Structure 1
Amino acid sequence: MSSLSKSGVLDMKERLRGFFNITVTPFTADGAIDTAALAENIERELAVGVDGLLIGGTYGEFPTMTVEERATLFRLVMDQVGSRVPVMLCSAGSDVRVVRDLTVLAGELGGVPMITPPYVSEITDDQIVAFFRDMAPLSRTGALIYNAPGIGITLSAKLIERLADIPEMVAIKQGDLTPTVIDQLVGALHGRVRLFCASDLAFLGPVAAGFDGISSTNSCAFPELILDSYRAMQRGDVTTAGALHRLWFPYRQLARRFGQPQTVKAAMHARGWTGGSVRLPLRDLSAAEAAAVRDVVATMAADARSRIETVTA
């Protein structure tokens, strides 16, 4: 690794910590990316005080986009955000050529590429390690492992330890939140690479165990509430963090029933923000489902700040 790339990797690793908003991609009814809404949503998150952004991830619907659309999304966001906060740019894919090109672009733009193992049947652990060894050095800012059990291969803790030995690896976004796995990763990797919890529904335990940050989809709709819960955990105030987390349980019930990211987009609409539509094969919520979301939002989001102040007083 050259001195220039080594400097970029170390700088990115230092910056990767805290609360990252998983920014949904707002699509218009005819399927185009709503760039104005995207810019507005990003500025809202930055104004609330998030520590970083994650763009074009699974809840950003990257599998439904062309390579050109993903590259355009990267450029739009990085032009807007600049160096204000670190940005994870999802370069995942099953075609190595796509992953390579997007990984290079992410690093050139100043973001950090987020890579999953390729979705290939019967791939071996050694082949996965070789894949990451090929991809990680392509980015001048290093690379981030995304362990996403819901969309592909579940990386074991032992395999993640091997991947963390790659010099350019700066962080892991961990979707397998089994307590024994969390314990293994914190015990073996804390301080070597940044550890991010991939779920805002279950971040209290991993953060308490020693994770460096979380990524949150639902903060697109409830940024104040979820961020304050995370900040309470950072302060060591577990009681407040848990109380704040419980405030949005009714919404989590709906999200489990209706699916993501369509539910969070509906909640954004209920707050007067533009979440946009989802792309096929996903479907926007039905009228009845959207009404249920609006009812929940009316009871817990419209006065989110006052309810937070009541809990934290």
Structure 2
Amino acid sequence: MKDIKECYERLKGIFNITVTPFTPTGEIDFAALSENIERVIAQGYDGLLIGGTYGEFPVMSLAERRALFIYVMDFVKDRVAVMLCSAASDPRDARELTKLAGELGGLPMVTAPFVSEITDEQIVTYFEEMALLSRTGILVYNAPGIGITLTPNLLERLADISGVVGIKQGDLTPTVIDQIANRLAGKLRLFCASDLAFLGPMMAGFDGISTTNSGALPELILATYRALEQGDANTAKALHQLWFEYRTLARQHGQPQLVKAAMALRGFNGGMVRPPLKPISEQALQSLTKVMQQLASDSRTGVKLSFEQPLARNL
């Protein structure tokens, strides 16, 4: 993407939140990353989100994050739109990554500063400064899980900043979604940050969804989204209900741990997680295997497993 206008036009649809595969010795497995990216592009995903929360950016060095951005953008070659998470606890790192992401043709995804008792005015100033660094604009990530929660009123102020292309909304409270959809739709792109509960925001008027679990269930989640996109709410609801038990496990055992374990059961190489995260327990793996077998037995899901007898554990 060459500029803010093109970035805005392409920032819609379903984006795969790509997990970062780590080898047993802790390095980024770029070969596995390429395979996983190629899979979702071939299946028809509209974009990628690289190095996000579930891409484990908090446990990566600045040098690793730079290398990740450069590798992915060279590999993708603008076939799909790419969000590049430039969030960082150190604003100097965030600035450097935001600038790099824009230079590479990606869209920097920026969170509010990780600072307690920061004022709304300081938050607005921070995003104004970040927006100036990127030729493709920035995406505001409202991420309650890793920082402060931006209110609808504050998001409206951020939407007025030149260079803010969209919002990735992590606070999915119904009243908040209603306010954002009705106040900001059409002004900038609105993305739902949770594939566990994306039906509501999309029906309310959001432009897209970023999905972590599409790493493990790419066909099913894509079919769910496309049905909703085409106005077939009944099919979307039925497909979304099919993987409720999987979502239950995801809430219990965490992401990206569960996603990487589910990918392994399918023969996809999601790699290891990095400490302080740990692989899911044997008991959790048994529960996951049962759920994945149930999904594979339903022709509507498109899920196929890589084993006949459980368990094949490589995490």
TM surpasses 0.5: yes
What letter is aligned with 2:59?
A: T
CA distance in 1, matches of 2:169, 2:25: 34
SS in 2 for 1:138: coil
Instruction: Quote the residue 1:102 is aligned against.
Output: 97
Contact 1:270 1:293 survives alignment (8 Å):
no
Matched, 1:135 2:126: no
Instruction: Quote the residue 2:88 is aligned against.
Output: 93
Q: State TM-score, norm by structure 2.
A: 0.94
SS in 2 for 1:59: helix
Q: Paired residue for 2:291, among 290, 296, 306?
A: 296
What letter is aligned with 2:246?
A: Y
Q: Paired residue for 2:187, among 188, 192, 216?
A: 192
Q: Paired residue for 1:116, among 111, 114, 125?
A: 111
Q: RMSD of aligned C-alpha atoms?
A: 1.2
CA distance in 1, matches of 2:11, 2:243: 26
Q: Which has the higher helix share?
A: 1
Instruction: Quote the residue 1:64 is aligned against.
Output: 59
What letter is aligned with 2:249?
A: L
CA distance in 2, matches of 1:98, 1:210: 34
Q: State TM-score, norm by structure 1.
A: 0.94
4+ residue runs of structure 1 moved beyond 3 angstroms? none
Note the C-alpha offset of 1:287: 2.0
CA distance in 2, matches of 1:79, 1:295: 38
Matched, 1:266 2:261: yes
SS in 2 for 1:114: strand
Matched, 1:257 2:252: yes
Stretch of structure 1 that moved more, 156-165 or 282-291: 282-291
5+ residue gaps in structure 2? Answer: 303-315
Q: Paired residue for 1:50, among 40, 45, 52?
A: 45
CA distance in 1, matches of 2:208, 2:176: 17
Any residues of structure 2 matched to 1:152-191 within 5 Å, and which? 152-191=147-186
What letter is aligned with 1:307?
A: R
SS in 2 for 1:246: helix
How many pairs does the alignment contain? 302
Contact 1:265 1:277 survives alignment (8 Å):
yes
SS in 1 for 2:191: strand
CA distance in 1, matches of 2:38, 2:158: 34
CA distance in 2, matches of 1:80, 1:173: 24
Q: Paired residue for 2:229, among 227, 230, 234?
A: 234
| Cα-to-partner distance string for 1:116-153 (whole Å, 9 max, x where unaligned) | 00101110100000000001110000000000001111
CA distance in 2, matches of 1:36, 1:84: 18
Matched, 1:307 2:293: no
Instruction: Quote the residue 1:244 is aligned against.
Output: 239
CA distance in 2, matches of 1:308, 1:292: 18
Matched, 1:207 2:202: yes
Note the C-alpha offset of 1:288: 2.1
